[in-house]
Structure 1
Amino acid sequence: MPNADLTAIKERVVRHGAFVHDVIDEMGGVVVGQTRMIERLLIGLLCNGHVLLEGVPGLAKTLTVRMLAQCIGTSFQRIQFTPDLLPADVLGTLVYNQQTGRFTVEKGPIFANVILADEINRSPAKVQSALLESMQEHQVTIGDQTFPLDDPFLVLATQNPIEQQGTYPLPEAQMDRFMMKVQVPYPSREQELEIMRRMARTNTAPAVSEVATPEQVIRVRQVVNELYMDAQVEQYIVDLVLATRTPAAYGTERLARLIEHGASPRASINLNLAARGHALLRRRAYVTPDDVRAVVPEVLAHRIVRTYEAEAEGVTATALVQDILDTVEVP
């Protein structure tokens, strides 16, 4: 690509993407030690992809999602998933009006810009499917009417990895609908001390300022599409995904007995988009292999189905992805 074109893209990145760092700074003033989670949520927002957060309770997942909605001036709804939740509780339903003798539509909490699906694995499959259909189609059908969802529309789901009693784990086909699955770690000792100092108040009510608008989010998505990606980087993305399906072809014969099913073509699409989003966060007009490598664990790990042998040996999907990263040649 000519340097003049890259310069023009760089100018658009700086002009339209400046608010992204304002959001990071604003949220970082409240949420301590979760910069990676904040950046991954922003990548999902900028690339029109949904994110699954996995971590034990108390790691500020809900707080972070709510703060994100406040920072970009969008509507926010938190849906607590429970075993007795019904699809109508999420999507909405038809309500009969005795006075008029007609049915009217009562819209559910899904009609918001940012949705927090809290503990999504606590609801049965029919509720999960109703939500994931909305994620894929960006529309909801109630009765014989179809309603488009607002733009931007972002679903951020959480699940608890340690308490599995009474849960309904998401099937692999449904996990594939999430652009990224982000592991939320415990804070460090210094971060824990800072959290305690900030939050151990009886009148604590953390809040952030609105530093962006939904229109800016929609505008910067076009800039994400314009970022330059060299053909070698595209080939690298495809090689990483294919290495999950045919490990032996990429010199990782050991993984062939550990991977039951590799990532779908949706992984290639999402890896491309996530790498673009990562490049924009770094204020670049082009995508590098390092952008790809930075987001590979969150994009690929939840799409790999391990064999029983891998589970018996305690080999995680993240470890398998790291083996692939270490083996596939970087352009």
Structure 2
Amino acid sequence: MLELGQGNGATAPADSDLIKDVSEATFMADVVDASMTVPVIVDFWAPWCGPCKTLGPALEAAVTAAGGAVKMAKINVDENQGIAGQMRVQSIPTVYAFFQGQPIDGFQGALPQSEIEAFVAKVVEAGGGAMPDDGLEGALAAAEEMLEAGDAQDAAETFAAILEQDTESVAAFAGLARANIALGALDQAEAVLNGAPAAFADAPEVEAAHAQLALARQAENAGPVAELRAAVEADPSDHQARLDLAQALHGAGEVEAAVDELLELFRRDREWNDGAAKAQLFTIFEALPANDAVVLNGRRKLSSLIFA
């Protein structure tokens, strides 16, 4: 398992009904009552527990991959010592599976990914369900939803857990890199991309992640937007200031405004600095989905300038 962060200590995934942080006050409703209709896996953990940081994300990914056939409750033993005592939790991580109000299975300590998957599948079967054929696809979709919702830490952990199950998932490699970029862990993102199989080098997902990383590196060194905008207004022919402004705007999340500045720079001098405006536009386009409105409009305007 890749070491990515606080594991169980992170925010719950986007599907808050599937994986929940549970307390003594909600244990009856979220575990006992919920298990009357679908099995519930209970993960007892603590922020200081090293193995918990490995087990938690892997278990969450396996539960997500089950497509709703099982739920998961996460209980911080430091904050819920009463319920941990009642369940006779003597070491962590400790995992129990409940069905129809009763514990039916469990284990202690971190397990290999294959054994985690087997445990979840067994619990699903005990509840009368079946693992979906597209389990990993479901986990990938859930991780993408987490990333889109701003839960980059959870997304990174889920992508990493998916890679434990499928070391050739190009979507998971790219997703893990993008999640680390969102976290500001640019060196980690670069390490992920450098560690991807060579066959993935030309995959659109990986190329997009490389472009996002390049833009994030630029943003680290970008100047204040207000100052750069003032410089451009003072001297519209200052091409370097306009390029710097575009990079700063992109770093500030103003992607469309960045594209507009680059188009203006291209209009003024398309050959300046070895075609820097066009190169920067292509980097932005590559970092975004092909059907993004900014990409579609930007490419159309660029084509108009090229063939004007």
Interval of TM-score (by shorter of Structure 1 and Structure 2)? under 0.3
* TM-score for the superposition, normalised by structure 2: 0.26
Higher normalized contact order (CA 8 Å, seq sep 6+, divided by chain length):
1
Task: Considering fraction of residues, name the structure with more strand.
Answer: 1
* TM-score for the superposition, normalised by structure 1: 0.24
The structure with the larger Rg is 2
Task: Considering fraction of residues, name the structure with more helix.
Answer: 2
